[in-house]
Chains A and B, each alone.
Chain A
């Protein structure tokens, strides 16, 4: 059963669409293909978890866009939220 979703295929976080427990298999569809990973901790419904390992300082992407930077190394299956995402205001003028 699908219990997560990814907004854009290039995102490195997925969104829990069911309550997820530590050790649960997280299943989501990415570009038509079913993908799985293991939750490393409990994830509240609609919160984010890392789809892959994200090194400290790397951008965190959702909606295909940067939403912030990894404040520390984040492992696939970890909860991604205020404790490990550093807010970062990008200058987007040249991207418009």
Chain B
């Protein structure tokens, strides 16, 4: 099976062709918003971080920034920094160049002489990049070039019964095509980690699965908190999910049935053609999705029970619910109704083939509902408070 995508100079293949206006810190984020508003074909996001962070916290931010610039859906990047932040321009540029050789421009607000001059420079760079990007022609590539990020948010019991098993079916099909599927949300492995560990391809992966779960629980205890205090959320509970273990046992269905071949740290670059891998991300949706997109996921498949509009600046997000009431209620936001799995009117195999077809169409350019409504929110995982 093939899709039509964009070949990048680093060898990877994008399903979108965007120019990224990358804010190196919170202090550049309003500026990048103004720049992106001026240049059709460019995207940005609100980076609330990039300064006053301890090293491990800053590393998450750096990896997301570098990974976003390297994501194959991006043609090229204009980095905008204030000038005095911890995520210095030269560090950001170096981190991006470690991952990709795609077009890259830099604007430092303090050096440019303030807002208007910085915007002028960056808009001209971005406009030129969009023009270059628009000349690129799509070519056919095998589905094995795809890295699919899987996520669940606003879950309810139907997520574990229908939507996540459907995503798991897609994961199995993508793996069979030779592609890559990322299972994420470490907090939602808790109580189900043994089931994933049994599927580890190697003893190292087996041990890493337990390690990331225990490390997450221990990190929260260091600040005197327990992971289950805010998880399940009030909405999860109202929907019928009682406890974290129940949520986790439903969550891991997104990983299908193939072996777990690798465990990646948050936002690190995922190699293509890896089969099923895990990324150590929070259960929080926008920051988990950001980690996988930074890892190189071109498409995100997202289950929801309660319903959510969420999208991403770079990757199309395909929304799936197993709750027939939610599908009817939020049909403008949700792409796929998985509830036939529960009511026996369609099999998981039938819906899986339909979802694979939709994924191929989205890879070829079909807009998801989150894209057509313009949803681009995101967050970056944190280690601790600002310094």
Which A residues fall within an 8 A CB radius of B?
2, 5, 7, 15, 17, 44-48, 62-63, 65-68, 80-82, 85, 87-90, 92-93, 95-96
Contact = CB atoms under 8 A, between A and B. Distances in A.
Given A95-B194, A96-B209, A44 B240 contact: yes
A90 B191 contact: yes
A96 to B, nearest CB: 3
B240 A67 contact: no
A87 to B, nearest CB: 5
A65 B342 CA distance: 20
Contact of B242 (A5, A80, A92): A80
Interface stretch (B31-39, B157-165, B166-174, B178-186): B157-165
A61 to B, nearest CB: 10
Contacts of A92: 191, 193-194
B194 A63 contact: no
A5 B342 contact: yes
B164 to A, nearest CB: 11
16 contacts: A17-B343, A48-B242, A63-B249, A65-B192, A65-B195, A65-B245, A67-B245, A80-B242, A82-B237, A85-B243, A88-B245, A89-B191, A89-B228, A92-B194, A96-B193, A96-B194
A92 B249 CA distance: 13
A32 B184 CA distance: 34
Contacts of A46: 156-158, 239-240, 305, 323
Given A62-B249, A65-B195, 13 more contacts: A2-B344, A44-B240, A65-B245, A67-B242, A68-B246, A80-B242, A81-B242, A87-B228, A89-B190, A89-B228, A90-B191, A92-B194, A96-B194
Given A5-B342, A96-B197, A15 B157 contact: yes
Nearest to B213: A92
Interface string B206-239: 1001100000000000000000100000000101
Contacts, number: 77
B202 to A, nearest CB: 13
Interface residues of B, number: 33
A63 B250 contact: yes
Nearest to B217: A89
Contacts of A67: 191, 242-243, 245-246, 249
Nearest to A62: B246
A45 B242 contact: no
A76 B206 CA distance: 38
Contacts of A63: 160, 246, 249-250
A88 B190 CA distance: 11
A45 B245 CA distance: 20
Contact of A93 (B210, B240, B342): B210
B198 interface: yes
